[in-house]
């Protein structure tokens, strides 16, 4: 509307100006000399002008079309980049998320027919740390290629970040179908990888969750379930896969609750030492006591170490707990007969603390407890994780005068080489062998062989889990020096000074 007003105003002003200055006359005078021109000439001019204008219009529209197509292509490229993992070329988290949403959204109440698998690599971090990110990156690229080669058309592989990958697998809902794929994938990733001159061995663990339908099923919920199953696969040995089960949710909640309460318990000093006698089998004299952790929770009551030690290790609390137990135990040991020793369990996680032996010595020094009366128990698995770290710590503890015992012998993976090269003083034969001695000839032979081997290596032996006189007698005949078990006494908050031997013969 304003445009129209401007056009009318300009036309009016133009007409007035032409009229005022008599420009109509001037225009007429100007056109007079051209009156002889033919109308055809004019037409030719008009036609050529029209053709020219058409060509210009066509070219312009072609140009605009090209620009539009280029823009579409650029947008497409950007979209692809936004959905692709730059390192491996696989789909990224966003892509996976979108695909899951689409699959769930297609039929939210009946979203069967596919599963989500999450896998991550075992032992990737040390390779990345030791050989650098360049090697780590190349390894991830090779892993992506190998994993991709195992998939069927229609399956989607994505890298979620770091060494974590996810998979959407179409399935006929048969577990075996997915199991086969998971097994193939894990086996292929456990084969060695070659990067230039370097040969790397990694492995993978996998968690699998089936889409089950229902409106509560979201990509997040599904991924979380696969994650829980992955966590289970890792805690149950790695290099394997697990399917999600509802019980896992409950387990995780329980674990989170225990961890929360445990932090409080450490602060409030609710974890106390219980003492179980270690008895000389020849003369039934109490030589010392094993210190066993008991958490006395204000409402739950006593909590067994089986329930909280692992969580304390994972939550980084075990060091504090262990040193607090030693402090409390040394306090009690003040009144004990001279030479009575304490046997303290040390977790594999604590071996990573280079200050461990200094911290222990500080406590002993303050309590006036002799280092020679402290025995340190470590389980065989501590040696498997990192034998060099374990060796350094063991050497340092030994150098300060403590004795070293290998706990639960026979259940782990320590080799004879470890026993020869590490400064142990004692083997503790695991209670499972001792308890089976009556029924199983194999167990008897094994216990006998362990005692003989131990002696030939210059080590003493303690048998755990002695519940009957018959076992105590047989172990004494086999040459075992020390016994521990309910026959002599259960773990108790106060160390028993004299034995009231119980149990069946």
Q: How far apart are CA 307 and CA 382, in angstroms?
A: 19
Neighbours of 288 (CB within 10 A): 25
Residue 374: CB partners within 8 Å, gap ≥ 6? 326, 341, 342, 344, 360, 364, 402, 403
- Applying CB under 6 A, which part among 51-59, 87-95, 165-173, 458-466 lies near ligand C2E? 458-466
Among 407, 426, 454, 478, interactor with ligand C2E by CB under 6 A: 407
Position 325 contacts ligand C2E (CB under 6 A): yes
For Mg ion, which is the closer residue by CB, 163 or 464?
A: 464
Among 111, 140, 309, 329, interactor with ligand C2E by CB under 6 A: 309
Q: How far apart are CA 182 and CA 274, in angstroms?
A: 45
Half-sphere exposure of 233 (CA within 13 A, CB side): 29
Among 408, 447, 461, 495, interactor with ligand C2E by CB under 6 A: 408
Contact partner, 486, from ligand C2E, Mg ion, none, Cβ < 5-8 Å per class: ligand C2E
Query: Is 239:182 a contact under the CB 8 Å cutoff?
Result: no
| Residues 327-366 contacting ligand C2E, CB under 6 A | 345, 347
- Applying CB under 5 A, which part among 28-36, 138-146, 375-383, 448-456 lies near Mg ion? 375-383
Position 377 contacts Mg ion (CB under 5 A): yes
Q: How far apart are CA 254 and CA 62, in angstroms?
A: 67
For ligand C2E, which is the closer residue by CB, 305 or 412?
A: 305
Backbone angles phi, psi at 206, to 5 degrees: -135, 140
Position 305 contacts ligand C2E (CB under 6 A): yes
Position 317 contacts ligand C2E (CB under 6 A): no
Rounded to the nearest 10 degrees, the angle between the axes of helix 356-367 and helix 387-399 is 30
Position 484 contacts ligand C2E (CB under 6 A): yes
The encoded tokens of residue 53 equal 């204008």
**List of E strands, 177-317:** 193-195, 198-200, 203-210, 241-243, 271-280, 285-297, 301-303
For Mg ion, which is the closer residue by CB, 120 or 407?
A: 407
Contact partner, 136, from Mg ion, ligand C2E, none, Cβ < 5-8 Å per class: none
- Applying CB under 6 A, which part among 18-26, 154-162, 236-244, 462-470 lies near ligand C2E? 462-470
Q: What is the DSSP letter of 201?
A: -
> Strand 198-200 to strand 271-280: parallel, antiparallel, or no bridges (unpaired)?
unpaired
- Applying CB under 6 A, which part among 167-175, 196-204, 260-268, 298-306 lies near ligand C2E? 298-306
Tokens 């290790």 — which residue? 313
| Residues 384-443 contacting Mg ion, CB under 5 A | 407-408
Which x/- pattern, by CB under 6 A, does the window 421-440 give for ligand C2E?
Answer: ----------x---------
Got the DSSP string for 391-409? HHHHHHHHHTT-EEEEEEE
- Sites of contact with ligand C2E (CB under 6 A): 276, 292-293, 304-306, 309, 318, 322, 325, 345, 347, 377, 407-408, 431, 464-467, 484-486, 491
- Sites of contact with Mg ion (CB under 5 A): 345, 377, 407-408, 464
């Amino acid at each position: 509307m304003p445009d129209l007003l401007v056009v009318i105003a300009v036309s009016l002003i133009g007409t007035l100006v032409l009229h005022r200055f008599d420009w109509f006359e001037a225009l007429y005078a100007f056109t007079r000399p051209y009156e002889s021109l033919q109308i055809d000439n004019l037409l030719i001019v008009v036609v050529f002008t029209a053709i020219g204008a058409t060509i210009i219009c066509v070219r312009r529209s072609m140009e605009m079309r090209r620009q539009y197509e280029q823009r579409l292509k650029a947008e497409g490229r950007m979209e692809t980049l936004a959905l692709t993992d730059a390192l491996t070329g696989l789909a990224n988290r966003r892509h996976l998320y979108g695909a899951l949403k689409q699959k769930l959204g297609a039929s939210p109440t009946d979203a069967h027919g596919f599963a989500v698998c999450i896998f991550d690599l075992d032992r990737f971090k040390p390779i990345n740390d030791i050989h650098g990110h360049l090697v780590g990156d190349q390894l991830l690229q090779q892993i992506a290629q190998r994993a991709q080669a195992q998939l069927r058309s229609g399956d989607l592989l994505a890298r979620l970040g770091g060494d974590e990958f996810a998979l959407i697998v179409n399935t006929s809902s048969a577990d075996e179908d997915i199991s086969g794929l998971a097994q193939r994938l894990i086996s292929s990733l456990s084969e060695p990888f070659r990067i230039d001159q370097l040969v790397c061995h990694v492995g993978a663990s996998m968690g699998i969750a089936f889409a089950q339908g229902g409106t509560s099923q979201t990509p997040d919920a599904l991924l979380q379930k696969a994650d829980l199953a992955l966590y289970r696969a890792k805690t149950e040995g790695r290099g394997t896969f697990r399917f999600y089960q509802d019980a896992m949710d409950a387990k995780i909640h329980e674990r989170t609750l225990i961890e929360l309460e445990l932090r409080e318990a450490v602060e409030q000093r609710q974890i106390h030492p219980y003492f179980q006698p270690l008895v000389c089998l020849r003369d039934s004299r109490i030589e010392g006591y094993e210190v066993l952790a008991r958490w006395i929770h204000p409402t739950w009551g006593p909590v067994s170490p089986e329930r909280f030690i692992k969580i304390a290790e994972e939550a980084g609390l075990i060091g504090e707990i262990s040193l607090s137990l030693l402090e409390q135990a040394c306090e009690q040991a003040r009144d004990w007969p001279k030479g009575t020793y304490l046997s303290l369990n040390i977790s594999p996680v604590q071996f990573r603390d280079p200050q461990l032996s200094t911290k222990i010595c500080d406590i002993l020094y303050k309590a006036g407890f002799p280092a020679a009366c402290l025995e340190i128990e470590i389980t065989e698995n501590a040696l498997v994780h990192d034998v060099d770290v374990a060796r350094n710590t063991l050497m340092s503890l030994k150098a300060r005068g403590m004795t070293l015992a290998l706990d639960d012998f026979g259940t782990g993976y320590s080799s004879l080489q470890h026993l020869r090269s590490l400064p142990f003083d004692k083997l503790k034969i695991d209670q499972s062998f001792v308890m089976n001695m009556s029924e199983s000839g194999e167990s008897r032979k094994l216990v006998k062989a362990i005692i003989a081997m131990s002696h030939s290596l210059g080590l003493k032996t303690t048998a755990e889990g002695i519940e009957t006189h018959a076992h105590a007698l047989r172990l004494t005949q086999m040459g075992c020096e020390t016994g521990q078990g309910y026959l002599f006494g259960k773990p108790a908050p106060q160390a028993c000074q004299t034995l009231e031997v119980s149990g069946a013969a």
